[in-house]
Amino acid sequence: MSLAGGSAVAAPRSAGLHLYWTNYGQSGTGSSIGRSLLNGTQVNQHFITQAQGPVGLVINGNYLYWSNPGVDNGSPGTTISRAKLNGTDVITSFIKGLNSPHSLAISGGYIYWDSRLGDTIGRARLNGTGVNQHFIVGAGGPWGILVHGGYLYWTNYGTGGGSSGTTIGRARLNGTQVNENFITGASAPAGITTSGGYLYWSNDGANQSGTTIGRATLSGSHVNQAFIRGARAPSGLTIYGSYIYWGNFNGTHGIGGTTLGRARLNGTDVNQHFIVGADSPVGVVVGK
């Protein structure tokens, strides 16, 4: 960008970046992935339209991946889908034969997912082969998942498809040193993310009654279950730069959330309506 005097100003780091989210829909009947510019403009609620009650969302290279647990009556979905970041080349069953896949994470040539109703963490190679649905067992209705610093973290939303979970689990990336109670005291924790030495998670709450986003150090200390307040059953989380973004799964009357929230990483400048018009948004991610 040239100025009048001929000097140049570099484009902001966020230029050309997008925010993506999954539109889970009423009781899992949603079928789309939404997208906007990172500043919240150019909103397209139907950027991709071949999903089935999508929840998890992750980006790797030029590809976007999402999970399809389907309707919430048993979350019968069995697939993870993939498309290019421009919305083309959609493969609806890129990985199949799964059990209620929810959130997704990618690291070191592997994609990981939560099997919420199977109480397991699954893993496969990024080309879709080597599927292991029981890479880690013994979780409690896992929902959110994160890879960072040689560790895998997940949120235990609640066993049996319920929302009574209170813990965040952790294990080594090789599946050892499993600790299902790495952090305790959460309320049906859903999404999880990290930045600057901290873990952040959404307290979706029993029967989607939660209103807070929690935070703790990566060592599991200095736990604050209400670091950000005023959300409506916050679900998926992502961080870019100095901002954290989340989906508000519930609306004003307890169902059918339509907004994505944003705040600074210090917990200030909270905007629960950063993006409007979504359909029970869950997974959130930033990419090109």
3-class SS string, the chain? CECCCCCECCCCCCCCCEEEEEECCHHHCCCEEEEEECCCCCCEEEEECCCCCCCCEEEECCEEEEEECCCCCCCCCCEEEEEECCCCCCEEEEECCCCCEEEEEEECCEEEEEECCCCEEEEEECCCCCCEEEEEECCCCEEEEEEECCEEEEEECCHHHCCCCCEEEEEECCCCCCEEEEECCCCCEEEEEEECCEEEEEECCHHHCCCEEEEEECCCCCCEEEEECCCCCEEEEEEECCEEEEEECCCCCCCCCCEEEEEECCCCCCEEEEEECCCCEEEEEEEC
Q: Is the dihedral of CA 128, 129, 135, 140 positive or negative?
A: positive
Q: What is the pLDDT of residue 3?
A: 24
CATH for 264: 2.120.10.30
| Domain-located, residue 279 | yes
Note whether 199 and 216 are within 8 A (CB).
yes
State the residue range of the domain holding 245.
18-287
In a 10 Å sphere around its CB, with 0-12 CB exposed, 13-18 middle and 19+ buried, how is residue 10 labelled? exposed
pLDDT in tens, 29-82: 999 999 999 999 999 999 999 999 999 999 999 999 999 999 988 899 999 999
| Domain-located, residue 12 | no
| Domain-located, residue 210 | yes
| Domain-located, residue 5 | no
Distance between CA atoms of residues 212 and 203, nearest Å: 5
Q: What is the pLDDT of residue 254?
A: 65
| Domain-located, residue 3 | no
pTM more than 0.75? yes
| Domain-located, residue 201 | yes
Residue ranges of the chain whose pLDDT lies below 70: 1-14, 252-254
| Domain-located, residue 11 | no
| Domain-located, residue 9 | no
Q: What is the pLDDT of residue 206?
A: 95
Q: Is the dihedral of CA 39, 45, 48, 54 positive or negative?
A: positive
Q: What is the pLDDT of residue 142?
A: 98
Domains in the chain, number: 1
Distance between CA atoms of residues 247 and 21, nearest Å: 8
Q: What is the pLDDT of residue 13?
A: 63
Residue with tokens 């990985």: 95
